[in-house]
Amino acid sequence: MISFSRIGAVFIKEVVQMRRDRPTFAIMIMVPIMQLTLFGFAINTDPRHLPTAVELRDDGPMTRSLLAGLRQSTYVEIVDIVHSDEEGEQLLRSGKVSFLIVVPESFEADLVRGERPEILVAADASDPVAASGVVGAIGEIARRAFEPELERLPKRLSSGAPPYSVVIHRQYNPAGVTAFNIVPGLLGVILTMTMTMITSIALTRERERGTYEALLSTPVRPIEVMVGKTTPYILVGAIQTSIILLAALYVFNIPFAGDPLALLLAISIFILTNLMLGYLISTVAKTQMQAMQMTFFVFLPSILLSGFMFPFRAMPGWAQAIGEAIPNTHFLRIVREIMLKGAGVSDIAGDLGPLLLILLVLALLALMRFQRTLD
Amino acid sequence: MNGETVIDVRGLTKRFGDKTVVDHFDLKVPRGSIYGFLGPNGSGKTTTIRMVCGLLKPDEGEGTCLGYDVLHESTAIKANVGYMTQRFSLYEDLSIRENLEFFARLYNLDNLRARVDDAIASLGLEGRSKQLAGSLSGGWKQRLALAACMIHEPELLLLDEPTAGVDPKARRDFWDTIRRYASEGVTTLVSTHYMDEAVQCDRIAYIAYGKKLLDAPTAEIPDRVGIHAIKIEGGDLEAIASRLSGAMGVDFLARFGASIHVCGKDESALAAAMAPIEGMPGVRITPVKAGLEEAFIYLMTQASDNFEAGEAA
């Protein structure tokens, strides 16, 4: 016979234990609230305000009204106006802009002559999602901008097909293959999850098993424990990296355009950063359960706010600010820049710097958190 | 070497929140002695030991351990002390040899292999060095833990209830080892609940409510406590016990096999309390000298549970 009294006994005990485990309870309540607010507002699958540069090689009333039209548009946001190919190329490669709109020389003159000049839109297609809607959007902006100007032109130009064309040039991933974007990104996501999780229980497990006190009673120093506990997993990370990269190159046929040594450097720093993040969690978490929950707490933003799932530039400013503090954000940019855009060490310095800074801050925090006493 | 003080601390105090766990504790431990800590659960024995070896920072007080300042030189203290925790604290998923090697490396020892071989040999575990520590019986775990905290040949051994949950034979072997270390000049500070362990100590400090109530050579303790005992044999001991329990002059009764020891502070009141049972057929009443056990039972009845007192405070 099932006894409701016994079920009640177990039920009450579980509720009491859950209430007493405050941190776990707090995380269970806080996770949905925080993540919902964070991602509900941050994630934007309908990209807006994508950073764009305009390369102006013509200057006339029509070009100016096109520029005005672009400025009014919410789809793109003009962050820079350049006048040479090199400048424009540099902005696109470094990832500072998602699009480069080129108005060619003698655009207006050619247009009036009926030669149908081209407005070139160079898109960073290493993130296909962001690039997908751009052609239609720019075409529409141009049509509206030129409308009043075209009315003043001879009829043969203003009727029928527009006397110009918008040409898109997808760079770094011409076919817009999603796997080119996702697979290098997966490298960052997988390393974030496994490396953080594995060290998040480093000290917690010692505490739970009662070995922590014996460890502390020896003359071992906090930095010795930290280095000794994290370095074995560098090897694990190296094996994971090899598997993912081999699959990327030979299964998904993803091009590798850049400097392998630069990638190796970036991966090493990224692995260390995640190991340190996990180690910091283990200095805080009281049980392995808490350590796991905290790992997932940092894991979700690493997927959703890093630019892995959704275009980073399309997120609101505050979400981008949070994203900048996430190691995976910088790593994703580095990997895409090296693999798809052919970047070398000097090109990735802008993201390697923040990654190193995050690593340093995490290591210092972990050392400060590690108590040499049981207080 | 005799007469040298290994631990010399004054006024050690530790508070957790608003609860004072150790309250102005003084301790002097001479080299080579076996010093016992006795007291009820929660009386502050573990906390005191942890403060002495640098695992907890005292809130107040000062002093030295092995000549190093307990407040500022805890790393030096840790390097020269062997501390055995109350709970088994070796790695259950490492083998016997791996555990010993791990601790030997933490102390930066030379001749690592030879030292670990010696330790395994003196444990008598030569054939089992690859066995996982977690698969050892309670007694063997304790011996292994002791070997691990002796691997760096410390001058001072701190043992926190080392034989809790270990069978009497293993406990006896354990104490033989401690005695041998003591004869080699190793000082031992040991906390315990067991009377048969207390008698092994040269000197005993009795702790309750975080305060030291008594600190004397083991042999002098019954006299210091000033407890008197009368042994009663024969007759219906259960009936006699319930009759005498709580009587004037009787502080407590202790059952020893086929006899009862009736104990009290006031010798004449205790003798007067015997009146109701005097002349009962088959009952023998003999005044005896109170031993260590009676002395501690008396002390414990005075401070039976420190948790209660602590929470009320």
Q: Does the beta carbon of A160 lie under 8 angstroms from any beta carbon of chain B?
A: no
In the stretch 213-242 of chain A, residues with CB closer than 8 A to chain B read: 213-221
Check residues A8 and B85 and name the one with the higher pLDDT. B85
CA atoms within 13 A on the CB side of A144: 12
Name the band, by pLDDT with cuts 50, 70 and 90, for residue A127: confident
The reported pLDDT for the residue numbered B303 is 62
The reported pLDDT for the residue numbered A44 is 63
Q: What is the largest CA-CA distance in chain A?
A: 94
pLDDT for A37-58, tens place per residue?
776 677 666 677 888 999 988 8
Q: Are A294 and A284 in contact (CB under 8 A)?
A: yes
What percentage of residues in chain A have a pLDDT greater than 90?
21
Residue A78 tokens read as: 């003009």
Model confidence at A71: pLDDT above 80: yes
Q: Which residue of A has its CA nearest to B152?
A: A218
CATH topology of domain A50-171: abc type-2 transporter like fold (3.40.1710)
Model confidence at A214: pLDDT above 50: yes
From residue B160, alpha-carbon distances to A52, A248, B61, B192, B276 in Å are 69, 56, 22, 7, 45
All residues at 6 or more sequence positions from A231 whose CB lies less than 8 Å from its CB, including other chains:
none
Helices (H) and strands (E) in chain B, counts: 12, 14
Burial class (CB in 10 A: 0-12, 13-18, 19+), A356: middle
The reported pLDDT for the residue numbered B311 is 38
The reported pLDDT for the residue numbered A323 is 92
Q: Could you write out the DSSP letters of every residue in A232-293?
A: HHHHHHHHHHHHHHHHHHHTS-----S-HHHHHHHHHHHHHHHHHHHHHHHHH-SSHHHHHH
**Range of lowest pLDDT (A266-270, A357-361, B54-58):** B54-58
In whole numbers, what is the pLDDT of chain B averaged over residues?
A: 88
Short-list B122, B190, B196, CA closest to B156: B190
Residue from the list B76, B81, B89 with its beta carbon closest to the beta carbon of A213: B89
Q: Which residues of B touch A215 (CB under 8 A)?
A: 106
Helices (H) and strands (E) in chain A, counts: 18, 5
**Range of lowest pLDDT (A21-30, A110-119, B126-135):** A21-30
In whole numbers, what is the pLDDT of chain A averaged over residues?
A: 85
pLDDT for A280-332, tens place per residue?
999 999 888 889 989 988 898 898 889 888 888 878 888 899 999 999 999 99
Q: Which residues of B touch A211 (CB under 8 A)?
A: 89-91
- Could you give phi then psi for residue A186, rounded to 5 degrees? -60, -35
pLDDT for A221-255, tens place per residue?
888 999 998 988 998 889 889 988 888 888 888 88
Q: Which residue in B68, B85, B98 has the most chain A C-beta atoms within 10 A of its own C-beta, making it the best mutation to test that interface?
A: B85
The reported pLDDT for the residue numbered A40 is 67
What are the residue ranges spanned by the domains of chain A?
A: 50-171, 177-369
Distance linking the first and last C-alpha atoms of chain B: 44
CA B153, CA A213: separation in Å to the nearest integer? 19
Q: Does the beta carbon of A209 lie under 8 angstroms from any beta carbon of chain B?
A: yes
Name the band, by pLDDT with cuts 50, 70 and 90, for residue A155: low
The reported pLDDT for the residue numbered B310 is 40
The reported pLDDT for the residue numbered B305 is 46
Residue from the list A213, A219, A220 with its beta carbon closest to the beta carbon of B55: A213
What percentage of residues in chain B have a pLDDT greater than 90?
48
The reported pLDDT for the residue numbered B35 is 95
Q: Which residue of A has its CA nearest to B158?
A: A217
CA A348, CA A339: separation in Å to the nearest integer? 12
pLDDT for B119-166, tens place per residue?
999 888 888 999 999 999 888 999 999 999 999 999 999 999 988 878
ipTM: 0.83
Q: Could you write out the DSSP letters of every residue in B49-98?
A: HHHHTTSS--SEEEEEETTEETTT-HHHHHHHEEEE-SS--S-TTSBHHH
Q: Which residues of A touch B161 (CB under 8 A)?
A: none
Name the band, by pLDDT with cuts 50, 70 and 90, for residue A158: low
Instruction: Please report the beta strands in chain A, taking only residues with DSSP state E, as ranges in sequence order.
Output: 50-56, 76-82, 99-103, 118-124, 165-171
Q: Which residues of A touch B75 (CB under 8 A)?
A: 219, 221
Name the band, by pLDDT with cuts 50, 70 and 90, for residue B276: confident
The reported pLDDT for the residue numbered A196 is 93
Q: Which one-letter DSSP state was computed for residue A153?
A: S
CA B154, CA B296: separation in Å to the nearest integer? 31
Name the band, by pLDDT with cuts 50, 70 and 90, for residue B3: low
Min Cα–Cα distance to chain A from B263, Å: 41
Short-list B150, B231, B224, B135, CA closest to B184: B150
**Range of lowest pLDDT (A313-322, B74-83, B105-114, B179-188):** A313-322
Min Cα–Cα distance to chain A from B74, Å: 8
Q: What is the mean pLDDT of residues B296-304?
A: 76
Q: Are B297 and B225 in contact (CB under 8 A)?
A: no
- Chain centroid, CA A39 distance in Å: 14
pTM recorded for the entire structure: 0.81
Residue from the list B75, B78, B89 with its beta carbon closest to the beta carbon of A211: B89
The reported pLDDT for the residue numbered B147 is 94
pLDDT for B163-196, tens place per residue?
887 888 888 888 999 999 999 999 999 998 888 8
The reported pLDDT for the residue numbered A364 is 95
Q: What is the mean pLDDT of residues B196-209?
A: 89
CB contact under 8 A, A217 and B55: yes
pLDDT for A347-357, tens place per residue?
899 999 999 99
Instruction: Spell out the domains of chain B, with CATH numbers in brackets.
Output: 5-219 (3.40.50.300), 223-312 (3.30.70.250)
Q: Are B190 and B178 in contact (CB under 8 A)?
A: yes
